[in-house]
Structure 1
Amino acid sequence: MRYQNTYVKLDTRLYHEQQPTPLDNPRAGHFNMQVAEQLGWLDDKDLMARWVEILGGQYVPAQFQPLSMAYAGHQFGQWAGQLGDGRGLLMAQVLGNNDQLQDLHLKGIGLTPYSRMGDGRAVLRSTIREYLCGHALTQLGIPSSNALGFVVSDTKVRRERMEAGAALMRVADSHIRFGHVEWIASFAPDLLGEFTDYMIDTYYPECHDSETPVLAFLQAVVERTARMIADWQLIGFAHGVMNTDNLSITGSTLDFGPFGFMQRFNPAWINNHSDHTGRYAYQNQPAIGHWNLNIWLPHFMRLEGVTRDTLADCLAPYEAIFMQHYQQGLCRKLGLPHAKESLTLAFEWLTLLEDNLLDYTNSFRALLGLVAPNEHPYEQQLLAIMTAEFNNEALNVWQNWSTRYLAALEPLSSETSIDEMRSSNPVYVLRNSMAQRVITAAEQGQFDELNRVFELLATPYRVQDIATDLDTLPPAPHAPQMPISCSS
């Protein structure tokens, strides 16, 4: 691998160098060959032979320089003060095969100075959920952290019960969060200029071409954040805990806790059982992204040339960028051009889904059964299941809408529309029930189901023979969608 450990060269107040605390008897859970190839990991025989020891904290390669990061944040809208890597270490930074910097971050590997009341560990169930979600989002084409692999161990960890400790090697284009800047503003304001230069040099070098590089950088973060959240909305993903310490400066999805993929369409869906007010409900994510940026940006007023007005100019495009990206994606999901008439049909379709509590993923894919009835029997089956759920009134609404929808498609290239629909509407997402079946088997030492689901999610836009009916089965229409705990 091509090591480029740059974070460790920054001011030592920003981190704490330390070694991981080994897990007891770590054993292979799963290894992501695609990520390993992208990193160049496969080319190093020592890394390949000892990957379980490395992820278990028993062996640290000489080129690694482990450190825990300091950062702060707003949690559920309230200032939480100093946070930091309480159970994870930035082990190394490397240039991937695309020449993009990648962080190798080992999660669940023991106490750090930032652990607060925690134990520095992670349990198997949350490790599996993060491992599969990073994989799922990446294969869906949404910017996200991914993972090299994970291990399970004999280390016992207490949450609501005693559980097996595990560790995951998370790979991301950056682990710098909005909360890093919040920490600097509160505890080391003299570092803001140096740290901002580092962020621009490392992640946004193109901003140096601007007459005002700092403002160009801030606007780029705003744009990437808006597009990322639009991607979440389009695929039906709810992050569940959009605190400022959980948002990356690169617009990549980071920190999978109580996440979920929408099943029965309910925009007010809350997937985090700790979110009693619905702050992080699916429909609120775009507004929370704006709120977080509005909290983050004013810290840069300490820098020369940055004023309240220029920051307002940086943030102002957020809504328009989000709406354009979301509306374009919504039209692609219907195979329609981005136009006013298309959006009218699209929002009527979403209303139909909501009023009838239809499955979000299955219903969008079922439209292919309407548009291309002879293409694949699976989509015909989805269409039949969907229409069977309509009562007489809803069936009339559907028939009226589908007639107008097909008329809108008629003058277009059917091949182009079908291709867009197939590449925008997945067959498979990581449903909570799917993840739970993997976890239940893994806790009994069985990883065959994990291997199958991992392979299924590797090509989510294609119908696969290894799938079962349970992989796409939504809950009953009025059954509560299972909320997820922050405990991990």
Structure 2
Amino acid sequence: MILNSRYPKLNSKLYHQQQPSSLHGAKAGHFNAALANTLQWSEAEKDNWVALCSGQQTLNDFEPLAMVYAGHQFGQWAGQLGDGRGLLIAQVQNQHGQIIDLHLKGAGKTPYSRMGDGRAVLRSVIREYLAGHALNALGIASSNAIGFTSSSQKVQRERAEFGAMLLRTADSHIRLGHFEWINQYAPEQLADFTQKCIEWHFPECLTEEQPILAFAQQVITRTAIMIANWQLVGFAHGVMNTDNLNITGSTLDFGPFGFMERFRPNWINNHSDAQGRYSYQNQPSIGHWNLWMWLNNLMPLAKAEEKEQFKQDLASALEQYEPTFLAHYQQGLNNKMGLPDTSESFDCAMQFLRILQSEQLDYTQSFLRLQQQDYQKLRDDCLNLHQFDQFLAQYHALRENQDLEQLQTTMQQHNPRYVLRNHMAQRAIEAAENDDFSEVDRLFQLLATPFSQHPLERAEDLAPLASDQAEIAVSCSS
């Protein structure tokens, strides 16, 4: 690995350095060799991956650290938070010269653990490992993971479960909540911290007339695009607190996430979210709310005589969130439909979504059938045949005189065959808890090529659970 240790150069108030606490009986779970290659791991490092992914070994030139941050959780100020069970163990340069964080999750208690035990369980580690892999393969900006390890040590949650560790990778672990903590507890650090964020992640903003404003605009744009991409594949994050969104617009902190199956916009995938604050349909507005809270933390950077203008400029920047989201979502939905990118096409696409909602059809499978021109199967699943026939007539009319071959190619590129359905992950977890990681490996291979049929495919990979089977409830417990 080529180390580039820049976060420890910040003021030491912003982190706490400590070594990870390994688990008893650590053992191999799964290793992402392709990702290790892009991060320029040596053969010796790859051979030694279990030690690195279980906290038994760290890198000589980087002292692991836990970051401190704050946040709003479920809309309420939560005060000081921080890495309560994870440590940044390295920052390395990938094949493209980009600096990537290596973050060990489940590494033991830190000063920011609050009431937590500093551990992660095998169940949640497998879910995060597969979800990050799946989103990256879908072309959605996300953290990923080098690998995970299991252990013989039990960790108490609702029941006793096996402890595990995950070596997560991300382009940044700097969250919106970092700025909230600094403003509340170390305001003298705000200017330098913001400057470093711009230098490290948005250097193109340094040449702008107002670098901080340009930085804010970039964060807003990237967040809007990330959430539009979530919506397009039916992904619900489940816990969009300000401390769970980072400044680069890449998906971070997989907890009670889910890929929607039957199309229900008000779907609550987080069993702990009784009010549905983080339901699928609320994600775009929650993204806007989080950014609004974050932008307030940039206000102290303005000179006294410029504060009012700076406030207006930030408000104007935030006004671009909604049109950015809608433009990206509209184009993406039209691509999924195989329609030209027009407002008429978007209206037709929304009509298709209304059919999926009223008929409770599977989101991913229905778009796949549309791509395959399997209209009869779609129609057979509908009770309201008149509604479907009206849609299909409009759909065919919009595709007349178009380059259908190109539209079909576009559809194939935007409609995955595979997403990580909760019952797929659950089967892998249950096998892994019995020391069988073959299903994790099968899903890892399947999700690596989500847009084309894989020889390891099983029938249950393509459909939701039967209607008489209860959905798997996922909570914040991990």
| TM-score band w.r.t. shorter chain | over 0.9
Match of residue 376 from structure 1:
none
Q: CA–CA distance in 1 between the matches of 2:468 and 2:434?
A: 32
Structure-1 residue corresponding to 2:323: 320
Work out whether residues 5 and 65 of structure 1, in 8 Å CA contact, stay in contact via their aligned partners in 2: no
SS in 2 for 1:411: coil
Instruction: Give the SS at the match of 2:298.
Output: helix
Structure 1 letter corresponding to 2:110? T
Residue 456 and residue 76 in structure 1: after superposition, are their counterparts in 2 closer, same or farther (change >3 A)? same
- Name the amino acid aligned to 1:185: N
In structure 2, distance between residues paired with 1:281 and 1:48: 39
Residue 91 of structure 1: aligned partner: 89
Quote the offset at 1:384 in angstroms.
Answer: 4.9
Q: In the aligned structure 2, how far is the partner of 1:132 from the partner of 1:451?
A: 10
Q: Percent identity?
A: 54
Match of 1:401 in 2: 391
Report the Cα distance in structure 2 between the residues aligned to 1:39 and 1:466, rounded to whole angstroms: 28
Structure 1 equivalent of residue 8 of structure 2: 8
CA contact (8 A) 2:25 2:151 kept: yes
Find the partner of 2:416 among 405, 417, 426.
426
Q: In the alignment, which residue of structure 1 is the partner of 2:294?
A: 296
1:386 aligns with 2:378: yes
Three-state SS of the structure 1 residue aligned to 2:405 is: helix
Aligned to 2:335: 332
3-state DSSP class of the match of 1:166? strand
Matches within 5 A, 1:220-369: 220-304=218-302, 305=306, 307-369=310-372
Q: Does 1:54 align with 2:52?
A: yes
**Which of 461, 472, 476 is the aligned partner of 1:482?**
472
Q: Does 1:153 align with 2:175?
A: no
Provide the rounded CA distance (Å) in 1 between the counterparts of 2:43 and 2:337.
Answer: 47
The residue that corresponds to 1:373 in the other structure is: none
The code of the aligned residue for 2:266 comes to: A
1:23 to partner: Cα distance: 1.3
Q: Residues of 1 paired with 2:364 and 2:43: CA distance?
A: 41
* Distance in 2 (alpha carbons) for counterparts of 1:95 and 1:205: 17
Counterparts of 2:467 and 2:376, CA distance in 1: 16
Counterpart in the other structure of 1:36: 36
Amino acid at match of 2:382: F
Tell me the equivalent position of 2:400: 410
Q: Which residues of structure 1 form unaligned runs of 5+? A: 371-379
Please state how far the C-alpha of 1:219 moved relative to its aligned partner. 0.7
Alignment partner, residue 26 of structure 2: 26
Query: What do the CA deviations read for 1:357-399 (whole angstroms, capped 9, x no partner)?
Result: 00000000100232xxxxxxxxx4xx554332222xx122212
1:436 aligns with 2:426: yes
Q: Deviations over 1:171-194 (max 9, x none)?
A: 000000000000001000000000
Report the 3-state secondary structure (helix = DSSP H, G, I; strand = E; otherwise coil) of the residue aligned with 2:153: strand
User: C-alpha separation between the residues in 1 aligned to 2:442 and 2:376?
Assistant: 27
- Letter aligned with residue 223 of structure 1: T
Of 244-253 and 90-99, more deviation after overlay is shown by 90-99
SS of residue matched to 1:154: coil
Q: Distance in 1 between matches of 2:44 and 2:447?
A: 29
Q: Distance in 2 between matches of 1:228 and 1:272?
A: 20
Deviation of 1:475 after TM superposition, in Å, equals 2.8
Which residue pairs with 2:460 in the alignment? 470
Partner deviation per Cα, 1:300-351 (whole Å, 9 max, x = no partner): 1111255321210221100000000000100000111211210111111110
Separation in structure 2 between the aligned mates of residue 98 and residue 402 of structure 1, nearest angstrom: 45
Map of 1:375 onto structure 2: none
**191-200 or 467-476: bigger deviation:** 467-476
Distance 2:367 2:456 in 1: 22
Tell me the CA shift for residue 239 of structure 1.
0.2
State the Cα deviation string for residues 70-89 of structure 1 (Å, max 9, x = none): 00000000000000000000
In 1, Cα distance between the equivalents of 2:17 and 2:358? 54
Counterparts of 2:268 and 2:94, CA distance in 1: 36
| In structure 1, C-alpha distance between the alignment counterparts of 2:32 and 2:94, rounded to whole Å | 15
Listed one character per residue, the Cα deviations across residues 41-87 of structure 1 (whole Å, up to 9, x for unaligned) are 1xx23312221111111111213320000000000000000000000
- 1:7 partner amino acid: Y
- How many pairs are equivalent? 473
- Are 2:99 and 1:109 equivalent residues in the alignment? no
Partner of 1:71: 69
One-letter amino acid of the structure 2 residue matched with residue 487 of structure 1: S
User: Could you say what the CA RMSD is over the residues aligned between the two structures, in angstroms?
Assistant: 1.2
* Cα distance in structure 1, aligned partners of 2:160 and 2:471: 26
Range 85-94 or range 51-60, more displaced: 51-60
**Superposition deviation, residue 482 in structure 1:** 2.9
Amino acid at match of 2:29: G
Once the 2 structures are TM-superposed, how far is the Cα of residue 480 of structure 1 from its aligned partner?
5.4
- What secondary structure sits across from 2:217 in the alignment? helix
CA distance, structure 2, for counterparts of residue 107 and residue 316 of structure 1 = 36
Paired residue secondary structure (1:278): coil
**Which deviates more from structure 2 when the two are superposed, residues 299-308 or residues 234-243?**
299-308
- 3-state DSSP of counterpart to 2:417: coil
Q: 1:452 is aligned with what amino acid?
A: R
Deviation at 1:15, TM superposition (A): 0.1
In structure 2, distance between residues paired with 1:201 and 1:157: 40
Q: Residues 217, 478 of structure 1: CA spacing in aligned structure 2 closer, same or farther, 3 A cutoff?
A: farther
Note if contact 2:59-2:89 (Cα within 8 Å) is conserved in structure 1: no
Aligned 8 A contact 2:338 2:371 in 1? no
* Shift in CA distance, 98/23, structure 1 to aligned 2, threshold 3 Å: same
State the Cα deviation string for residues 148-186 of structure 1 (Å, max 9, x = none). 000001121010111111000000000000000000010
1:369 and 1:222 mapped to 2: Cα distance? 36
| Aligned AA (2:474) | I
* CA distance in 1: counterparts of 2:192 and 2:68, whole angstroms: 16
Could you tell me which amino acid in structure 2 is paired with residue 28 of structure 1?
Answer: A
